[in-house]
Amino acid sequence: MFLIVGLGNPEEKYAKTFHNLGFLAAGDVCAKLHTKFKKRECEASVAEAYLGGEKLIVARPVTYMNASGRAVRQLMAKYKISPSQLVVIYDDYDLPKGHVRVRPSGSAGTHNGMRSVIAETGLTQFARIRIGIRDSEVNIPLIDYVLSDIAKEDYELFTSACGRAAEAAIALSLGEPVDRVMTRYNG
């Protein structure tokens, strides 16, 4: 069993913001696996699929970004998910816009949602897929930037990045070694 969690904010007004790229990528996972978010449990919208004979849970926390860890902790407990079965997808200001980076572990960096996940679960050794959002031409406070809408001229770039992040999450869920997934999707 695997748990893929895309981080974001649940309200419609945040749907096209940088901070919702994790939600968008989780939606892409569902589209690729022909499933939908059908139920709500553990403070998350949840979809289920079977991949390689194993159950896969895809989730979007409804707790807002800064409390995402509560949903992750609850889902891990309910489904008895080990750290090696967890993949978290999120936006990352520390990467250039449109870049995807897969890592087997790490810190939260500047991301409050990941801080919450790490604080609530007590874990740092789980796969994460980061989607870069930094634009060197934009000079506004980080909190304003992550909650701003993605520019129309960049939408295709981020749609592609979310698709690649979804493919990487599926590859990890199929048991592909993280170093091989990193080689294929990082950059």
Q: What is the pLDDT of residues 18-64, one digit of tens each?
A: 999 999 999 999 999 999 999 999 999 999 999 988 999 999 999 99
pLDDT in tens, 157-171: 999 999 999 999 999
Please provide the average confidence, as pLDDT, over all residues in the chain. Answer: 94
Q: Confirm whether 19 is a catalytic residue.
A: yes
Helix 68-79 / helix 112-121 crossing angle, nearest 10 deg: 40
At 88, the amino acid letter reads: V
Query: Region 102-121: what's the mean pLDDT?
Result: 93
Read off the pLDDT band of 110 (50, 70, 90): confident
What pLDDT sits at residue 136? 80
What pLDDT sits at residue 124? 95
Give 180's contacts (C-beta < 8 A, 6+ positions apart): 171
Q: State how far the Cα of 17 lies from the Cα of 158, in Å rounded to an integer.
A: 11
For residue 55 the two structure tokens come to 């159950």
Q: Of residues 19, 34, 99, 111, which has the active-site annotation?
A: 19
What pLDDT sits at residue 160? 97
Q: State how far the Cα of 33 lies from the Cα of 36, in Å rounded to an integer.
A: 9
pLDDT in tens, 123-146: 999 999 999 999 888 788 888 888
What pLDDT sits at residue 31? 97
Q: What pTM was computed for the model?
A: 0.95
- Write down all domains in the chain, each with its CATH number in brackets: 2-185 (3.40.50.1470)
